[in-house]
Structure 1
Amino acid sequence: MSTSVSDPVKSVSAVDSAPSAPSAQVDRFVHERLPAPEQLPRMEYALPELRIPALANLVQALFDKAIREGRGDKPMLRSDKITLTYAEALERVNRIAQVLTEDFGLKPGNRVLLRGGNSIGMALAWLGVVQAGLVAVATMPLLRAKELGEIIEKARPALALCDATLLDELQAAQAPSAALPTIVPFNLMGAPGSLAVLSAQKDGNFKPCPVSADDIALMAFTSGTTGKPKAAVHTHRDVLAACEAWPRHVLKARPDDIVVGSPPLAFTFGLGGMLIFPMWAGASVYYPSIGYTPEAMVKLIKQVGATICYTAPTFYRQMAAFAKQHGVPGLRLCVSAGESLPDATRQLWKDATGIEMIDGIGATEMFHIFISAAGADVRRGAIGKVVPGYTAKVVDDTGAEVPRGTIGKLAVVGPTGCRYLEDERQGNYVKNGWNYPGDAFMQDADGYFFYQARADDMIITAGYNVAGPEVEDALLKHPAVAECGVVGLPDEERGMVVKAFIVLKPGEAGGDATAKALQDHVKATLAPFKYPRQVEFVDKLPRTETGKLQRFKLRQP
């Protein structure tokens, strides 16, 4: 299915090889805001398993697969309070879909904002939205009203489903906006108007929306380097094809697996690893009712007999001593992604558990992992090889592949690709049909890819993406700050650490108290993980003659 990358119009024609069907989404808001044809990524479906039927509702397909394979009475979703089988989960998903379509009159293609941490309630809500042919717009629980407001303005959701413990910030975001008329709380039993009470009134007899495989399943928001939110759009075909790539060829989960992990369902890394991919394998997922600490994660793995764990390198490093102390006898697969995996962390974890970690690089824009390695295929220092179904290369600024052993920019094509919702940055990510995730890589003679650095100003700290300009904007709102620059610096514990260089206004004094005040200010303005853990007061910032901040100079020792 390959086409010439020098012709961007022809390069997108590979998508035509996939069977198509008429769209069921009568709300065309997302469809009408997709990139122009010449800006679309090339899509490749060369492997037989990547050829998804023309009509394919991904939630229906995953449940049908489980039932067909005799797993209807097997556990799917677990917590310390309840375990739901695949059949029981399907009935609850159908009840939620009934509430959305019957009680609120939502039509296929309407967007539904979801706000919640990892829980059975959040998982069921997401599945119910997509089963009904609606577009899931999941948001991280740490986001504040300002950030939620930006997402609401861009996605224009018809409804929001929100964990009852996280209503405050969403209600604050709702107040100035006419774009979000209704919020329905979940994980709230017995309260009138809650999703639980409304769902209990339904019979669970719901016919899944007969969407085209190319209808929209989700919008995943990513901040990018400017802090201005970007919405990456993925279809039902994208998600089902992703199931047939990395999970099939690298992860190789089994029906008896029990999955635990820390990545939020609002991240595509978490959505795949902590819900979609376990369903595809017929496995189960455990969501604890309280947050994780490194020791609590290790104890939970042992307590529930977890066999697969997803988390960031920072967490594995912190968990290693506890794993050695308590033991993790059932654990067999450990997936690391979200930030660069230092070899020291890999070896520390291997020494503590005997497990060779599965590293991987993916992107919200690509849905999930496209370069990875497991078991005997792991090579020290490398992330891995390209996942079957994808093609990757290291290129120069013209898009020409560089010699092996040379550092360049990563370019990828496969069964998933970047489609931003109405965003001029589409042209930066997709060039001549190839996706450019913004990473610098080197590929060796054997095809292994070695991560070098981010090619832009994104700070990746403990698995979270932080845009420096967004933090700068928050700091500049503090009355003591005249100028500031925010960068990421290497950090053994967190991969990178957010550091702010501050120029104070005349009469303001630097010092520990001022630094803490500024850190608290950012925590109150943005998601807490974005605050600068290091603050340095300086007399001036390095700038070009035109006044542009030279962040590369701030990164120098």
Structure 2
Amino acid sequence: MELRSSAHTDTFARDRLPPPDQWPHLTDLGYPDRLNCGAELLDATVERLGPDRVAVRDASGVVWTYGQLRAQVDAIAYALTDRLGVQPGNRVLLRGPTTPWLAACWLAVMKAGAVAVTVLAAQRPKELATICRIAQVRYALCDARCVADLTAAGVAGLRVTEYGGEGPEDLTRLAVPGTARYPAVATAADDVALIAFTSGTTGQPKGCMHFHRDVLAIADTFSARVLRPSPDDVFAGSPPLGFTFGLGGLVIFPLRAGASAYLADWGGPDQLLGDIAAHGISVLFTAPTAYRAMLPKLGGHDVSSLRRCVSAGENLPAATWQAWQDATGLRIINGIGATELLHIFISAADDAIRPGTTGLPVPGYEARVVSAEDGTPLPDGEPGLLAVRGPTGCRYLGDARQTQYVRDGWNLTGDTYVRDPDGYFRYVARADDMIISAGYNIAGPEVEEALLRHPDVTEAAVVGRADEERGQVVVAHVVLRAGVPGDKGTVDALRAHTKTRIAPYKCPREIVFHTALPRTPTGKLQRFRLRAAGPDDARQPAQ
């Protein structure tokens, strides 16, 4: 695979791409050889629709039109290159809450031809130090409210520039918008634009490298072909911009469509519902957990502006999908994505939605179910590993685990799926979450689905626990509705309920009640903690 001539003077990222024979097969969408995604998302949209449309806004009252956003981005890009000395290909770490300023910094890094390493505001010094070491980061733009942990990370040679603070070297003072347009660096379409790190909850985080063409590819496939936004849409959601689900849904997709985005951090269901009404949100990106949390609170809020609701990050139970439609009339667009592929690659919208399934391959992508042993395709109806390929794919930053994720040109996502005869893909479990008990294969999400249909259950997570007699037993970790006692009577009621919906051998042998389930800052359930930890409220073994 021959790469185009790079515009990067710092070739660190390109030098650490996996060998071409370890890449996945990549679909060519016909982008030109020279392509800067920042210029395409911002400058090209201004040329197409004009500078006066609202681009971004926030709760503090900031409202930037496309023209104002471009002026601010260009000023930041000049500050990066002229004041801070950033060169094309340098890695620039971005850290802060979800705000217009963070989005503008990301766009400026793109236009300057540098490589964005956007991290979560919730990540701690040790995690930040690891990311900076792996990506050899020497520059950082950080919200003044989040700078303490970054400073505490003790990264040698890291130049941190704050924004939103009071100092004379604050970026808000270095990057005052003017009339000078910043000429975007003529990056190659396959120059690395960003390094997105996996959460690293179970080991060393992996840096996933994505090109300028990849950034546009997710907008021109899932967003354009499935979501189908219009320039009049207002996007919002709970995922942070350090999570590629949030970066796509709150920055890339609205800008590519000429729409606007309301940028704010997740502050709970009441805040999100209030924001929907106050700002006329029409396209919402969040996780199944948030949809469940909003359901009992819908009565006090106006959500009539919503027309698109997207769910990803974890499996969307059919019960949650149905309850949301019953309450709002809206059909949630379910999807599965991965940091390794940047965004969603299986989904369905409108009349194509089938509750309980993830959907169909997004146009431009292919998917199949393969054997874990030898990678051969499996017949419809038989569970196996999900394999995907399309215009985006996994390229780890100098990581030997590349050959585990990519095999024979296909990305193996680590999910167990079944392909139905009509072509729909149905989630079974994470491949490492299958529970084998007394010779039976039990998918934790199926048990969770049954538990979530009980009116007293607000959250459920099912894992296996080692057992000498059975190999593993099914353990359910449950958050109950407020006021419901976590006692034996509730355990008996939940077990009786699940037995009416799934085979008795799949029912939990133990039920553990929690006030909350452990999650990453991006909202993903941390099952490994449930496997390792005891209860925080009560453990109730089944009789």
Q: Same fold (TM over 0.5)?
A: yes
Alignment-derived partner of residue 431 in structure 1? 407
> In 2, distance between residues paired with 1:244 and 1:51?
11
Is the CA contact 2:313–2:523 (under 8 Å) kept in the aligned structure 1? no
Please show how residues 102-141 of structure 1 align to structure 2 within 5 Å: 102-141=82-121
Q: Which residue of 1 aligns with 2:158?
A: 181
Q: Cα distance 1:164–1:39, how it changes in 2: closer, same or farther (>3 A)?
A: same
Aligned residues of 2:387 and 2:413 also touching (Cα < 8 A): yes
Letter in 1 for 2:223: P
**Structure 1 CA distance, aligned partners of 2:306 and 2:177?**
40
Q: After TM superposition, give the deviation of residue 457 of structure 1 in Å.
A: 6.0
**Distance in 2, Cα, partners of 1:275 & 1:385:** 25
Is the contact made by 2:235 and 2:284 (CA closer than 8 Å) also made in structure 1?
Answer: yes
1:335 and 2:313 correspond: no
Aligned partner of 1:192: which letter? Answer: P
CA contact (8 A) 2:345 2:362 kept: yes
Corresponding residue for residue 58 of structure 2: 79
Counterpart position of 2:338: 363
Counterpart pick for 2:361 among 381, 386, 391: 386
Structure-2 residue corresponding to 1:265: 241
Q: Cα RMSD (Å) of the superposition?
A: 2.9
Paired position in structure 1 for 2:21:
38
Q: 1:201 to 1:75 in 2, by over 3 A?
A: closer
Inter-partner Cα distance in structure 1 for 2:431 and 2:140:
35
Are the aligned partners of 1:52 and 1:240 in contact in 2 as well (CA < 8 Å)? no
- Structure 1 position 536 matched with structure 2 position 528: no
- Note the alpha carbon deviations across 1:292-336, whole angstroms, 9 max, x for none: 211111111011111011100010011112223323111000000
Code of the aligned partner of 1:229: P
> How far off is 1:205 after superposition?
2.7
SS of 1:244 mapped into structure 2: helix
Offset of residue 248 of structure 1:
1.1
Q: How does 1:297-316 map to 2 (within 5 A)?
A: 297-316=272-291
Aligned in 2, Cα 1:74/1:202: closer, same or farther, shift over 3 Å?
closer
Query: Match of 1:496?
Result: 461
- State the alpha-carbon separation in 2 of the partners of residues 215 and 246 from structure 1: 22
Q: What is the CA distance between 1:67 and its match in structure 2?
A: 1.8
Match of 1:318 among 271, 293, 314: 293
Alignment equivalent of 2:429, drawn from 444, 453, 462: 453
Does residue 27 (structure 1) correspond to residue 10 (structure 2)? The answer is yes
| Matched letter for residue 29 of structure 1 | F
TM-score, structure 2 length as denominator? 0.81
Alignment partner, residue 396 of structure 1:
371
Matched AA of 2:134: K
In structure 1, the gaps of 5 or more residues are 1-12, 459-486, 502-518, 538-555
After superposition, give the CA deviation of every residue in 1:374-422 in whole Å (9 maximum; x if it has no partner).
1100012111000110010001121111111110101111000000000
Q: What is the DSSP-based 3-state SS (H/G/I as helix, E as strand, rest coil) of the residue aligned with 2:134?
A: helix
Name 1:553's counterpart in structure 2.
none
Q: How far off is 1:243 after superposition?
A: 1.3
- Of residues 199-208 and 298-307 in structure 1, the stretch that sits farther from structure 2 once superposed is 199-208
For 1:273 and 1:152, the matched residues in 2 are separated by: 25
Q: Secondary structure at the match of 2:153?
A: helix
Deviations 1:340-375 (A, max 9, x none): 000110011111110000000010000100000011
- Tell me by how many angstroms 1:271 deviates: 0.4
The 1:497–1:404 alpha-carbon spacing in structure 2 relative to 1, beyond 3 Å, is closer
Question: Which position in structure 2 is the counterpart of 1:52?
Answer: 31
Task: Identify if the C-alpha distance between structure 1 residues 263 and 191 changes in structure 2 by more than 3 Å, giving closer, same or farther.
Answer: same
- The 8 Å contact of residues 71 and 177 in structure 2, kept in 1 or not, is answered as no
Superposed CA offset, 1:59-113 (max 9, x none): 1011233123223210000113111011110111011111110011111000001
Q: 1:223 maps to what in 2?
A: 199
SS in 2 for 1:319: helix
Distance 1:143 1:89 in 2: 28
**Whole-Å separation in 1 of the counterparts to 2:463 and 2:115:** 33
In 2, the alpha carbon distance for the partners of 1:29 and 1:202 equals: 33
Aligned 8 A contact 1:411 1:434 in 2: yes
Match of 2:481 in 1: none
Q: From the superposition, tell whether residues 112 and 258 of structure 1 become closer, same or farther in structure 2 (CA, over 3 Å).
A: same
1:69 corresponds in structure 2 to: 48
Corresponding position: 1:275 with 2:251: yes
Per-residue deviation, 1:117: 1.7
Deviations 1:202-235 (Å, cap 9, x if unpaired)? Answer: 6543111110101010000003564201000000
Structure 2 residue runs of 5 or longer lacking an equivalent are 435-443, 453-457, 467-514, 536-541
In the alignment, the residues of structure 1 paired with residue 24 and residue 111 of structure 2 have an alpha-carbon distance, to the nearest angstrom, of: 26
Using the alignment, how far apart are the partners of 1:496 and 1:28 within structure 2?
Answer: 44
Partner secondary structure for residue 42 of structure 1: coil
1:365 aligns to what SS in structure 2? helix
Contact 1:499–1:533 (8 Å) recurs in 2? no
Partner Cα separation in structure 2 for residue 117 and residue 96 of structure 1 = 18
Matches within 5 A, 1:249-264: 249-264=225-240
Aligned partners of 1:314, 1:58: CA distance in 2, in Å? Answer: 32
Q: Does 1:416 align with 2:395?
A: no
3-state SS in 1 of match to 2:94: strand
CA 1:291–1:360: 2 relative to 1, 3 Å: closer
Relative to structure 1, is the Cα distance of residues 266 and 499 closer, same or farther in structure 2, using a 3 angstrom cutoff? farther
Compared CA separation, residues 228 and 157, structure 1 to 2 (3 A):
same
Would you say 1:246 and 2:228 are equivalent positions? no
Q: Which amino acid aligns with 1:54?
A: D
Please report how far the alpha carbon of residue 455 of structure 1 lies from its aligned counterpart in structure 2 after TM superposition: 1.1
In the alignment, the residues of structure 2 paired with residue 416 and residue 197 of structure 1 have an alpha-carbon distance, to the nearest angstrom, of 38
Q: Give, in angstroms, the shift of residue 533 of structure 1.
A: 7.0
Figure out how many residues of one structure are paired with residues of the other and give that number. 468
> Matched residues in 1 for 2:195 and 2:20: separation?
19
Cα separation, partners in 2 of 1:221 and 1:162, compared to 1, 3 Å: same
**Residues 429, 437 of structure 1: 8 Å contact kept:** yes
SS at match of 1:133: coil
- The answer (yes or no) to whether the contact 1:221–1:229 under 8 Å persists in 2 is yes
- What SS does the corresponding residue of 1:394 show, helix, strand or coil? strand
Does the 8 Å CA contact 2:94/2:142 hold for their aligned counterparts?
Answer: yes
Deviation at 1:201, TM superposition (A): 7.6
The one-letter amino acid of 2:158's match is: P
- What pairs with 1:345-360 in structure 2 (closer than 5 Å)? 345-360=320-335
Residues 340 and 495, structure 1, Cα contact 8 Å, conserved in 2: no
Provide the secondary structure at the position in 2 that maps to 1:320. Answer: helix
TM-score, normalisation: structure 1 = 0.79
**Are 1:184 and 1:194, in contact at CA under 8 Å, matched by a contact in 2?**
yes
Query: Would the aligned equivalents of 1:24 and 1:210 in 2 still touch at CA under 8 Å?
Result: yes
Instruction: From the superposition, tell whether residues 113 and 500 of structure 1 become closer, same or farther in structure 2 (CA, over 3 Å).
Output: farther
